[in-house]
Chain A
């Protein structure tokens, strides 16, 4: 009850503060337009933001250990988050600066107008690509290598049950978590990338074919896609994975391959829709009519006239599709029906390491391992989304 009362008091204070803020602003600046035309809601927003900022600074400087000697893990996590955010921002800034002076004239120009989020996104994607490609060289141990000690705590502090040899500790059966995280980049990202390419190949070519030829082929494909899209994709994937798991045993083919095919087919329906829509928009253009009336063949129309104009939206869609596929695979693996052991994979790791979270109050570092695996997934999708967001914004801005 008292917490409710505190909240009510804080709210009232902010509400009052907003009024005072606007009134004082009007008096001090002699009715400058900014304060004169300020709505009460806007004033409230300013004061609320200020209050949040003050609270965040206050919380950041709370002691790490309480008077009773208990660890104040919440503060620790908050500090980590803030520090991570600042480091990311600085890295993104430096990377953008770097890009403004290195590279071709075109890329330099691109970097100059780039928001920080996009440069952060590109930086992260590059890092992931490097880690994924050179995983074997970077990782200290093998992905399936079972080492001496199981359940070593992360952080490398022997007092808390850690071991400097395994900076992020080991899992329940004694595999090095850091190595598995690094290999996870190769497996999870690599498989998602292959799946997305496959989905684009299937959906893209069928979509453009439907847009160019139209008629019964378009009808047939579009209606089939309608039906497939009427089943939620994760549900459909789970259903097909059930069946595939029986087939995998029967045929002796790894289940992972079935998963790639299944997700590629399910996702190609979305690609098909987009490719067809983009294609249809281009097909009605006068320059296509001019090419048709010139007597050009189908190949020239599709590859020389339509495709070059469809690249920009398709590239953006590739980013979004990749995120979607990546998250679907992670979800399947998390549910235990995706990428199969012994391949290291982030979704599976989250599920396996999840119980560590309950130790957070005693050893903040212990709780970090499952979140690291989940965070690795989130970070890449955030990065891709930042880049796509910027690309879409740029292409829509050019039209104005």
Chain B
């Protein structure tokens, strides 16, 4: 695209203007927060998408597809995949099977049975599995099933949706790309009517489910020992997560950062040259690239430049094999930076620019290091901060676990142990911040706080009762999933003879009507032989 075309596009406004970032505290934000419409329909409150949802939107489409598949895993999905094999793959392998010596008409005649079979299999089997799954879901929601499956304290969205609609008869819930009033209403209803009472219950060391025999309702308290088991399991799960993070910090973060530090220390000039070249390609200057290239063009230009650099480095290695080590290292760095060129929008390009700036800073920092030991110590100190915080978190959780296993501990006592550790860690962070003299008022923006047990515990176990509630819900949903899988298998097996019967009826009928020539040709000689 010529520069004139770009300019005319910008002037005519056909290229979306890139929003300017703004600074707040020690951060530069990409753009202002998006206001969305509140439940009442007035633009009064800001509804922020859950982080997981936002991340998914940024990831490639097939990631979202896979998450959807994960949500729908079960018997119906098994049937659909099996039907794809039967309906789409099998016909091809019949019609083009080189080993088969049958004539093409016979092959086509036989192949046609596959899609019919697939449609019938899905139709009959899903027709029975889906209502069964719905029954199980409702039985769990109303408390008709045993306690392991009981969801009366954390019912499914479908169940709450009915309650919300009952409370708002005739109300039209707005739904578009940014707003989903019904979902918001369901979440609010759940929070008010289910989450709060459940947490209060757990804080008093009990969980009382509602049950029904289909006519009358009653309550059923989770046995004390089961509650203790659930409590211990909740703490164990958090400990396990922390241990995994510790291993990850040591195995991945430490070794990779040391390697990169040593490389920058050994080849600071070459590294800087490449980084500056990449920075020039982006040519952002200030945190705005208005009136310059569009984000998409910048993305393409950067991709091209990365490829050119890699090509040049490979060529240089061929010409000067003695530089192989340096060039290989540089190629890896360029490849990594190229991965940061991950979006054709201005936000992504700004993030990329910041990455390059950080790498340039790191090169300067590493250039000044006198020995490998110093690089190692520098990197290790950062990793140590993280691992020490993890260890302090695990220690606190282990204390609760030990008391659970010995004298017993109430949820409130466990909460106090966590609150005390958060307070102790916060105090320590405040002192560290004071000593370092960063002058930051909000300690939560400091690196000391980010890598502290206070931060970890606040995120992972701020409310012990809430963690237990989530675990209890996971228990119920997992058991329901297990039940659905076996029931699905059972009922689809039971319906199989019907599928078989239908196929034997429908297939010849269908072939006679749609492919009479094929049908006639296939049946005639056989009839003769029988005769």
A and B bound? no
Question: Which residues of chain A have a CB within 8 Å of any CB of chain B?
Answer: none
